[in-house]
Amino acid sequence: MTTPSPQGDREKIVSKLPPQLRQELKIRTAQLGVDIQDAVHAGITDWSGLASAPSPVETTGSEPFSTWLPSGQWETFRAHCKDRGVSLVQGLAQAIHLWLEKNPPPTVQRPVVVRRVVVCNQKGGVGKTAITAGAGEALAEDSNSLYPVRIARQLAALSDDASALDLEDLPGLGLRVLLVDFDPQSHLTKQLGCSPLAMGADSLTSHMAGEGKGPIQDLVVPIDDERFGGRLHLLPSCTDAFLLDVRLSTVRAREAALERALAPLESSYDVILVDCPPSLGLSMDAAVYYGRRRDGEAPGSSGALIVVQAEDSSADAYDLLTSQINDLRDDLRLDIDYLGIVVNLYDARRGFIATSSLQAWMDIKDPRVVAIVGDLKEQKEAVRMKQPLLSYAPKCDQSIAMRALAREIS
């Protein structure tokens, strides 16, 4: 069946395809940035140019499928199918299967230098842990599956109309991610259903103090969820981190202590996200130093991601944090990049304080706002269930926002 296109150069065709083949086509075209109609056109062209029809494709359970093709191509294809003794459904399935074979999925682009994202704010309660976990989960989602992503247009986000933002199904990023719980309160560890390391046992703190009892790799635990395919891992916290600043005071080159501790892990990951404590002490110095730009690393690959809320106390904490980062820049002559500001737990219904504070964050151009995440129930429910947000509610607005954030910082 065909329907003329309003533009006159294409016509709508209606046929059938096996659901699995249709899904593969949808994913592959998204991965390669190709329109489905162009892929089908190319597949039919290549199939028609073969000397004979290729091996049959299983078409049992085929479902309706439609797309737009150049005028006349479908009728020519219909004639080729008749000549080869195959049905239109079988011929179309073979043509799409041929296109998939000729256009394999792209490989995941892995950074030369592991990217290090330091998620920070001196103020507690702004949701650093939720942002660390959510961004890490989004970075690790399967690159051969599609997930809803809201393409960030921050000015549109100022309105209450969610339809002002575009929603697309995009492939996961498929990166190998390590989440580091650097906060002695262990919120990240507990939220992901893991247990903090025991006091007196080996921990990140002991490795930073130069007193590690074994390979730090032995402390890492996987986040067991098929969505992440073994790519998402956690370095749990230990309450001994409450004493970290005291222990670091006697350590040589203490600002590099976190980097020395994590160095044996870096070759196994593409991105390392550090969930920082609400502190401006020596441990924060070590975290910021870890996120500095290394030799040969492109600007904006690593750095500080600052989480705030749309209220006044976040602004005060922001000023303290950026002053500390700028002092480290000057004192140690470091290149420390700001990856952006995340306005978390936003709810326009809170009135003028929320909306005017959000506008104030939006007015900052360096660093710029890279995500606005709503204050919704799904995150709280995921914490209660001790499940990753993107597994618990993969299509909720918060999950969609996390995927947009992951693309901003990846």
Q: Which of 120-129, 149-158, 285-294 has the weakest average pLDDT?
A: 149-158
Asked if the structure places residue 107 within a domain, the reply is no
Same domain, 238 and 357: yes
Same domain, 255 and 196: yes
Domain count, the chain: 2
Task: Reply yes or no on whether the pLDDT at 157 is more than 70.
Answer: no
Residues 6+ away with beta carbon under 8 Å from 163: none
Task: Reply yes or no on whether the pLDDT at 162 is more than 60.
Answer: no
Same domain, 328 and 277: yes
What are the tokens at 292? 């500095």
Same domain, 141 and 86: no
How distant is the alpha carbon of residue 275 from its chain centre? 16
Identify which of 315, 288, 321 has the alpha carbon closest to the alpha carbon of residue 304.
288
What are the tokens at 396? 């909720």
pLDDT band, residue 239 (cuts 50/70/90): confident
pTM for the predicted model, two decimal places: 0.90
Asked if the structure places residue 209 within a domain, the reply is yes
Question: In CATH, what number is assigned to the domain containing residue 291?
Answer: 3.40.50.300
pLDDT at 200: 85
CA 366, CA 119: separation in Å to the nearest integer? 17
pLDDT at 82: 95
Same domain, 46 and 122: no
Q: What is the mean pLDDT of residues 12-16?
A: 95
pLDDT at 20: 95
Q: What is the mean pLDDT of residues 155-179?
A: 72
Domain of residue 394 covers: 115-409
Give the best-scoring range by mean pLDDT among 154-158, 160-164, 249-253, 319-323.
319-323
pLDDT: is 124 or 269 the higher one? Answer: 269
Alpha helices in 335-396 (DSSP H): 352-363, 377-385, 389-392
Q: Are 258 and 209 in contact (CB under 8 A)?
A: no
Q: What is the mean pLDDT of residues 11-38?
A: 96
Same domain, 89 and 143: no
Q: What is the mean pLDDT of residues 232-258?
A: 88
Q: Which of 4-18, 76-90, 287-301, 374-388 has the weakest average pLDDT?
A: 4-18
pLDDT at 8: 59
Asked if the structure places residue 358 within a domain, the reply is yes
Mean pLDDT of the chain: 91
Q: Are 21 and 96 in contact (CB under 8 A)?
A: yes
pLDDT band, residue 155 (cuts 50/70/90): very low
Asked if the structure places residue 81 within a domain, the reply is yes
Percent of the residues in the chain that have a pLDDT greater than 70, as a whole number: 94
Same domain, 198 and 80: no
Same domain, 191 and 241: yes
Q: What is the mean pLDDT of residues 153-166?
A: 48
Question: In CATH, what number is assigned to the domain containing residue 27?
Answer: 1.10.1220
CA 218, CA 215: separation in Å to the nearest integer? 6
Asked if the structure places residue 108 within a domain, the reply is no
What are the tokens at 17? 């395809």
Asked if the structure places residue 110 within a domain, the reply is no
- Examine the fold and report which residue of 102, 131, 153 is the final residue of a domain before the chain moves on: 102
DSSP string, 151-212: ---TTGGGSS-GGGS-EEEEE-----EEEEE--TT-HHHHHTT--PBPTTS--HHHHHTT--
pLDDT at 123: 84
Asked if the structure places residue 109 within a domain, the reply is no
Strands 232-235 and 369-374: unpaired
Task: Reply yes or no on whether the pLDDT at 203 is more than 50.
Answer: yes
CA 348, CA 372: separation in Å to the nearest integer? 11
Residue 221 host element (H or E) = strand 221-222
Same domain, 295 and 202: yes
Strands 2-4 and 10-17: antiparallel
Same domain, 67 and 207: no
- Examine the fold and report which residue of 102, 136, 170 is the final residue of a domain before the chain moves on: 102
Same domain, 244 and 193: yes
DSSP category for residue 386: T
Q: At what angle do helices 397-409 and 377-385 cross, to 10 degrees?
A: 90
Same domain, 162 and 294: yes
E strands, 239-337, where?
A: 271-275, 303-308
Task: Reply yes or no on whether the pLDDT at 152 is more than 70.
Answer: no
What's the number of CA atoms in the CB half-sphere (13 Å) around residue 175?
A: 26
- Examine the fold and report which residue of 48, 69, 102 is the final residue of a domain before the chain moves on: 102
